[in-house]
């Protein structure tokens, strides 16, 4: 009895399941399909898609492409080749009328990623491209259920840029990135900005700010242009404004040059009548030449201009040469003056009288004793010698001497004659010595006069040189300060 009932129940189970299946179908329930919604949606969108044509149902409809960029890093600035290499995050958005679906039919799926090679992509290029960078390949784009396509990708951009290096190392560069459709006119593809211009201008959220260059801002502007009165093209310009950080170049270029110039100025305090100043100046000039050779590779070089710092180095070299020339001139004046004539009167009036008062220098007459005093001393010695000569003879008139000689005895007169001859020889020797001393004193006076002229001229040229260096330094410092704060 029990085995028979069990067999009946097993026979009725398939019939019951069949009736249940039919009843559920009549109630409107459908079984869950086995294929994933992403696969079904991808097949639904791309099965009959034509990527070779612009995705609009009416050809009169303009495809609006909204673009945006964020600067990630400034990789290099090649001043010689006028090339700027940047790394940007580029985004573009447009509407594809053939990529729309009902999310309810695909498990409420509102967004899907599709291969970029399988759909239509606008031919947006950068006009300033000069080389293909090493950009990572992003093979997919995001598509929304209303047909919104978002193409997000990082790009290494190598673009031509007119770099102005005159203000180096305080220069600010303004390079443009022009996005435009290379083929389609503005009635086919129009460009717009994805975000507000104010948000794009000061967006440094992803910028790597530890390099040589600092991002100031990014300006954006839309414009139309045409070629030979043909159809217009739409273009979106982004102006990337960057500024160089000058600290490294200030420490490695400007400060050593300033120190060498300061040492050149200090070298004027060496005595001009010593030869150490010339050797010191020559050492500074050689050191500055070696310094320029070392830093020549650091300076930017272009075929159209020279940076101001290069002119600064050339002028500093010229100032060192002028300083050495002035030192050689002064040393020539104050050395080996035995064969020189007296200082001309116009030189005395100009340098020893007017220049000393103008430059507030001590009066030149205190440098050496007056030649008038020396002449007076010489005349006094001569008078004394004459008096001594007369005292030996004992008379001034020869007739008186003859009368006196007649009275004196003959031996005494002979002794007196011999003494007079000896005295004449002594007087001649004394006169020769006196003339030699006077001549030497005259040469010394001439040397002192030229030394005095050399000192005054040295002070005059030093102050003129110092004024030129200060004016030049203040001018450059002011210009660089204005450029840095601009």
Residue 475's pLDDT band (boundaries 50, 70, 90)? confident
Mind listing the pLDDT tens digit for each residue in 57-110? 999 999 999 999 999 999 999 988 899 999 999 999 999 999 999 999 999 999
Rounded to 10 degrees, the C-alpha dihedral 258/259/263/266 comes to 70
Per-residue DSSP letter, 366: G
Pairing of strands 63-78, 189-193: parallel
Residue 62, pLDDT score: 94
Average pLDDT across the chain, whole number = 79
Question: Under DSSP, is residue 305 helix (H, G, I), strand (E, B) or coil?
Answer: coil
Q: What's the CA gap between 294 and 285, in Å, rounded?
A: 14
| pTM: predicted TM-score of the whole model, two decimal places | 0.69
Higher pLDDT, 130 or 412: 130
- The region that residue 191 occupies, defined by phi over 0 for left and psi between -120 and 50 for alpha, beta otherwise, is beta
Contacts of 456 (CB under 8 A, 6+ apart): 351, 352, 355, 356, 359, 361, 364
pLDDT above 70: percentage of residues in the chain: 73
394 phi-psi bin (left φ>0, alpha ψ -120 to 50, beta other)? left
Tens-place pLDDT, residues 159-211:
999 998 888 888 899 999 999 998 899 999 999 999 999 999 999 999 987 88
At 207, give phi and psi (nearest 5°): -75, 135
Q: For 365, which DSSP code?
A: G
Q: Give the pair of three-digit tokens for residue 192.
A: 């717009």
| Cα 410 to Cα 393: distance, rounded to the nearest angstrom | 16
């Amino acid at each position: 009895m029990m085995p028979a009932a069990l067999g009946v129940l097993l026979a009725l189970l398939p019939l019951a399941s069949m009736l249940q299946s039919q009843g559920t179908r009549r109630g409107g329930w459908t079984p869950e399909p086995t294929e994933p919604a992403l696969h079904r949606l991808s097949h639904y969108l791309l099965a009959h898609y034509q990527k070779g044509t612009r995705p609009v149902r009416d050809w009169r409809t303009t495809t609006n492409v909204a673009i945006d960029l964020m600067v990630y890093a400034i990789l290099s600035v090649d001043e010689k080749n006028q090339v700027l290499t940047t790394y940007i995050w580029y985004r573009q958005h447009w509407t594809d009328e053939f990529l729309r679906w009902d999310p309810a039919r695909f498990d409420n799926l509102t967004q899907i990623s599709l291969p970029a090679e399988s759909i239509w992509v606008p031919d947006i290029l950068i006009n300033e491209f000069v080389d293909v960078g090493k950009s990572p390949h992003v093979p997919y784009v995001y598509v929304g259920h209303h047909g919104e396509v978002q193409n997000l990708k990082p790009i290494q951009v190598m673009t031509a840029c007119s770099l102005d290096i005159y203000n180096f190392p305080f220069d600010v560069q303004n390079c443009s990135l022009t996005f435009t459709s290379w083929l389609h006119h503005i009635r086919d593809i129009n460009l717009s900005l994805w975000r507000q211009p104010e948000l794009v201008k000061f967006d440094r959220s992803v910028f790597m700010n530890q390099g040589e260059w600092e991002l100031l801002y990014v300006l954006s502007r839309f414009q139309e242009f045409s070629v030979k009165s043909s159809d217009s093209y739409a273009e979106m310009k982004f102006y990337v404004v960057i500024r160089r950080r000058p600290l490294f170049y200030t420490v490695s270029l400007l400060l050593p040059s300033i120190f060498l110039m300061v040492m050149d100025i200090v070298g004027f305090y060496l005595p001009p009548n010593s030869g150490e100043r010339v050797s010191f100046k020559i050492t500074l000039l050689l050191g500055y030449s070696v310094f320029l050779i070392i830093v020549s590779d650091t300076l930017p070089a272009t075929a159209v201009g020279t940076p101001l710092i290069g002119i600064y180095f050339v002028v500093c070299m010229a100032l060192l040469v002028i300083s050495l020339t002035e030192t050689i001139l002064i040393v020539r004046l104050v050395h080996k003056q035995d064969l020189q004539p007296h200082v001309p009167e116009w030189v005395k009036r100009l340098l020893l009288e007017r220049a000393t008062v103008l430059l507030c220098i001590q009066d030149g007459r205190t440098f050496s004793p007056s030649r008038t005093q020396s002449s007076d001393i010489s005349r006094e010695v001569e008078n004394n010698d004459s008096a001594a000569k007369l005292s030996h003879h004992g008379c001034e008139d020869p007739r008186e001497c003859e009368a006196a000689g007649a009275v004196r005895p003959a031996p005494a007169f002979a002794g007196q004659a011999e003494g007079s001859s000896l005295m004449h020889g002594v007087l001649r020797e004394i006169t020769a010595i006196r003339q030699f001393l006077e001549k030497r004193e005259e040469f010394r006076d001439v040397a002192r006069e030229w030394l005095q002229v050399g000192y005054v001229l040295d002070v005059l040229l030093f102050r003129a040189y110092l004024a030129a260096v200060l004016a030049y330094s203040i001018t450059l410092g002011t210009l660089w300060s204005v450029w840095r704060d601009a």
